[in-house]
Amino acid sequence: MKAFVVYRYGRENGIRAGEMPDPELREDDVLIQIHAAGVNPLDSKIRDGEFKLILPYRLPLILGNDLAGTIVRVGSHVRRLKPGDEVYARPPKDRIGTFAEFIAITEDAVALKPKALSMEEAASIPLVGLTAWQALVERAQLKKGQKVLIHAGSGGVGTFAIQLAKHLGATVATTASAANAGLMKQLGADIVIDYRKDDFAAVLKDYDVVLDTQGGKTLEKSLQVLKSGGKLIGIAGPPDPEFARQMGAAWFLRAAMHLLSYRIRKAARRRNVDYSFLFMRADGDQLTQIAGLFDSAAIKPVIDRIFPFESTREALAYVETGRAKGKVVIKIR
């Protein structure tokens, strides 16, 4: 099958089109013919080798973390899905590879595609949808009447998270450029802070939750807007000891993550705030719930551009500019 493959880590090596063996089907797997794949900043980080200590992939590696497509075969233990089903998924972290014509993944990572969405629209959702769901619903347990700050509202995670938080009944603030303020309001943001001109920490206070997609100084400054008992959830790091435990990391990695996150955890404790790092996991049941939000028109997909399969490298480069509004998608079939 045709695929876009990492042969050696590093930006200068990039990814190349190549022929790869068709996936092998395990007894709990479904084989999916991929129609479209979402492109994420995570793809570039994996290509560059940033996660090779915690995600030790074997090269050559097919890149890609989002898909929509049609099931063509199922393993002997599969009960819920059948050939012909239109589905969408974020593959488990150790079985990525959606920049390809086919993929085999476990049934429990897969959900029926939202009926209201095209294949391209559906492919834009799994990774960002699960990230926002696991941050706001599962971890923050965001409730009606609470206040949440979502950083980088015009990005893939941001455009989904704003809509989800509003659906849950929260007051939503976000950071974005002035040019994107109109879109942020359309998606449901109550307060839009121009990150180029204004200091969000001087404008906002007594927030229940912050979802940080930036890391660094933005993460640290976010502590200032939270009230006592608030939650700061970071998806850009630094990883914390709890994440190391969940990963089953070796002792030296656990020690490294403890050190990397020591400063932010200490600062959070001083303010009686909880900091946690989120690395989203595949979950077909949650994708089924998310599909319901699209089919009821509670949330809309936000897609910036759709690239043809042969332009996968260009799609990745476009995402790396950081200027995409919402998601970028590759049309494979």
Tell me: do 146 and 269 sit in the same domain.
yes
pLDDT attached to residue 247? 85
pLDDT attached to residue 89? 99
Asked if residue 114 is part of any domain, the answer here is yes
Counting the structural domains of the chain, the total is 2
Among residues 65, 113, 29, which one has the least CA distance to residue 330? Answer: 65
Q: Does 55 score more than 90 pLDDT?
A: no
How far is residue 132's CA from residue 163's CA, in Å, rounded to a whole number?
10
pLDDT attached to residue 265? 97
Tell me: do 13 and 155 sit in the same domain.
no
How far is residue 157's CA from residue 165's CA, in Å, rounded to a whole number?
12
Asked if residue 286 is part of any domain, the answer here is no
Asked if 284 contacts 110 with a C-beta cutoff of 8 angstroms, the reply is yes
pLDDT confidence tier of residue 189, bands split at 50, 70 and 90: very high
How far is residue 44's CA from residue 149's CA, in Å, rounded to a whole number?
26
pLDDT attached to residue 65? 98
Asked if residue 16 is part of any domain, the answer here is yes
Q: Does 56 score more than 90 pLDDT?
A: no
Asked if residue 180 is part of any domain, the answer here is yes
pLDDT attached to residue 12? 85
Tell me: do 247 and 315 sit in the same domain.
no
At residue 48, φ and ψ (nearest 5 deg) are: -80, -5
Tell me: do 207 and 142 sit in the same domain.
yes
- H helices within the chain, ranges in order? 41-47, 119-123, 126-133, 156-167, 181-187, 200-203, 216-222, 241-247, 251-260, 262-270, 284-295, 312-320
Asked if residue 82 is part of any domain, the answer here is yes
pLDDT attached to residue 92? 97
pLDDT attached to residue 249? 86
How far is residue 67's CA from residue 332's CA, in Å, rounded to a whole number?
10
pLDDT attached to residue 202? 97
How far is residue 71's CA from residue 103's CA, in Å, rounded to a whole number?
10
Quickly list DSSP for 267-280: HHHHTT-EEEE---
pLDDT attached to residue 76? 98
What share of the chain has pLDDT > 70, as a percent? 100
Tell me: do 314 and 217 sit in the same domain.
no
What share of the chain has pLDDT > 90, as a percent? 93
Q: Helix, strand, coil % (nearest 5) of the chain?
A: 35, 25, 40
pLDDT attached to residue 52? 86
**The CATH number of the domain where 72 resides is what?**
3.90.180.10
Tell me: do 101 and 141 sit in the same domain.
no
How far is residue 62's CA from residue 99's CA, in Å, rounded to a whole number?
7
**The CATH number of the domain where 251 resides is what?**
3.40.50.720
* Torsional sign, CA 312, 315, 317, 322: negative
Asked if residue 259 is part of any domain, the answer here is yes
Asked if residue 246 is part of any domain, the answer here is yes
Tell me: do 196 and 87 sit in the same domain.
no
Tell me: do 35 and 101 sit in the same domain.
yes
118-122's contacts with Cβ under 8 Å and 24+ in sequence apart are 119/35, 119/36, 119/68, 119/69, 119/86, 119/333, 120/35, 120/36, 120/68, 120/303, 120/306, 120/329, 120/331, 121/301, 121/303, 122/36, 122/68, 122/88, 122/301
- Residue range 120-156, pLDDT digits in tens: 999 999 999 999 999 999 999 999 999 999 999 999 9
Tell me: do 186 and 116 sit in the same domain.
no
Tell me: do 116 and 132 sit in the same domain.
no
Q: Does 53 score more than 90 pLDDT?
A: no
Q: Domain containing 200: what range?
A: 127-277
Among the ranges given (9-18, 32-41, 263-272, 286-295), the one the predictor scored with the smallest mean pLDDT: 9-18
Q: Does 197 score more than 90 pLDDT?
A: yes
Asked if 171 contacts 150 with a C-beta cutoff of 8 angstroms, the reply is no
Q: How far is CA 144 from CA 64, 132, 151, 204, in A?
A: 35, 16, 20, 18
Tell me: do 77 and 140 sit in the same domain.
no
Tell me: do 212 and 306 sit in the same domain.
no
Q: Does 86 score more than 90 pLDDT?
A: yes
Last residue of a domain, one of 261, 277, 293: 277
Asked if residue 204 is part of any domain, the answer here is yes
